[in-house]
Amino acid sequence: MSKVDVLLGLQWGDEGKGKIVDVLTPNYDVIARFQGGPNAGHTLEFNGIKHVLHIIPSGIFHKEKINVIGNGVLIEPAIFNDEVEALRKKDVEPTHNLFISKKAHLILPTHRLLDAANEQAKGNAKIGSTLKGIGPAYTDKIARTGIRVGDILEFDFREKYQLLKFQHLQIAKMQNFDVDAFRIGDMTLDEYEEKWMKSLDTLRTFQLINSEYFINNCLRDGKRVLAEGAQGSMLDIDFGSYPFVTSSSTITAGVCSGLGVAPSAIGRVMGITKAYCTRVGAGPFPTELFDATGRTLCELGHEFGATTGRARRCGWIDMPALRYACMLNGVTDLIVTKPDIMDGFDEIKMCTSYVINDKDTDEIPFEFNEVEIRPNLLSFPGWKQSLSSARSYDELPVQLLQYLEAIEKRSGVRIMAVSVSPDRKDVLFR
């Protein structure tokens, strides 16, 4: 019996999960997504190709490996169809090695309408949702009114769809949302619905399975399974900066419910953090920089959302948040990405604790969104050289090694690898 290893983000998303999953895939037989949906944007780069995945797991470019979309994931068929077509343009045929849980829930066009309506209704308190319909689709799942992938094979699918759509339109009306003016891209709701319905044909060509049996049989047969997280621990529905979070369980616990594996079947938990910190959308961000350094991180790090294109907010690494994430996830190994963005920095800072109402704390407070937080910052000298030629962990500049050591000491977790470029080849394992 083998175990499921987990790889997930420890910050507010975009830590480099897609890249690292792609790099780790050769060590596994199965790569499985367990939560989230098209709000995710996972970037892979190799052989001069750059590719962004949203719903499909990041092991897909390895043709001999099986990829699974688990029951905890949300599928938006039209976005899924676009993703499949983009892969085919790169000579990747995903029907061969991508299996989809029949229990995964569908995002309807009207879930996207409601996402927009809910954000509009929030006025100044907007979450900054990716507007892919995530919140409303998970709401229907929990309310037991959702539609699942397996339902598209049933004779009464259209009926179920129309009923749910009708309910969504009623809610939008109650919110005084202008349905006629609503657009997805440049399409009206009706136009998009047509595209969405056609996309179901693509979905039907895939192997739709009971993925909980599939994964557990793989484990029984000694196959190696890697669970790929989306978003990050600080966006978790329970432990993130609520309500400025996503609507799924982004932490290790989500692997159990999102794939149907027992807690005792969880193996290593690899957590990813950037060497600094970013956040896209609204919500607290204690180490955010509003100065030239912040802008430099954004520019050099190309910190623009892979899903929405929005500029990401940038700041120093936040150790109270990272320690919290390590605790919640049971992280056994750390992976640090993007230190190369700070190659030219004279000084690098790390938030070691928060000062709230004149008191020092290293706990994330319940009132995370309301209180004023001043980060206690520890300064480190920069390495002032390019990391592009580094070929092993031990060869990294001594200043960077000191910085990494401090991350280890304060998180209590050993670093297993450092990534120094977007490319597949530039990961230095210890």
- Interface region with ligand GDP, contact rule CB under 6 A, candidates 25-33, 35-43, 238-246, 345-353: 35-43
Distance from CA of residue 382 to its chain's centroid? 29
Report what 77 binds from ligand IMO, ligand GDP, Mg ion, none; CB cut-off 5-8 Å by kind: none
Shortest distance in whole angstroms from residue 73 CB to ligand IMO:
11
What is the footprint of Mg ion within residues 291-350 (CB under 5 A)? 306
417 near ligand GDP (CB under 6 A):
no
127 near ligand IMO (CB under 6 A):
yes
286 near ligand IMO (CB under 6 A):
no
Residues 6+ apart with CB under 8 A from 353: 319, 320, 360, 361, 362, 375, 376
Give the pair of three-digit tokens for residue 307.
């899903």
The mark string for 14-53 relative to Mg ion (x by CB under 5 A, - otherwise) is x--------------------------x------------
The reply to whether omega before 397 is within 30° of 0 (cis) is no
221 among known catalytic residues: no
Give the pair of three-digit tokens for residue 142.
């929990």
Strand extents, DSSP E, 15-165? 30-33, 42-46, 49-53, 66-69, 74-75, 98-101, 105-106
The mark string for 290-309 relative to ligand GDP (x by CB under 6 A, - otherwise) is ------------x---x---
132 near ligand IMO (CB under 6 A):
yes
Q: Is the C-alpha dihedral spanning 290, 292, 293, 295 positive or negative?
A: positive
Report what 280 binds from Mg ion, ligand IMO, ligand GDP, none; CB cut-off 5-8 Å by kind: ligand IMO
Cα distance between residue 338 and residue 17, in whole Å: 12
228, 31 in Cβ contact below 8 A? Answer: yes
The mark string for 8-47 relative to ligand IMO (x by CB under 6 A, - otherwise) is -x--xxx---------------------x--xxxx-----
Cα distance between residue 149 and residue 195, in whole Å: 17
140 among known catalytic residues: no
Amino acid in the structure at residue 20? I
Q: Is the C-alpha dihedral spanning 147, 149, 154, 159 positive or negative?
A: positive
Report what 16 binds from Mg ion, ligand IMO, ligand GDP, none; CB cut-off 5-8 Å by kind: ligand GDP
Shortest distance in whole angstroms from residue 56 CB to ligand IMO:
12
Residues annotated catalytic, as ranges: 14, 42
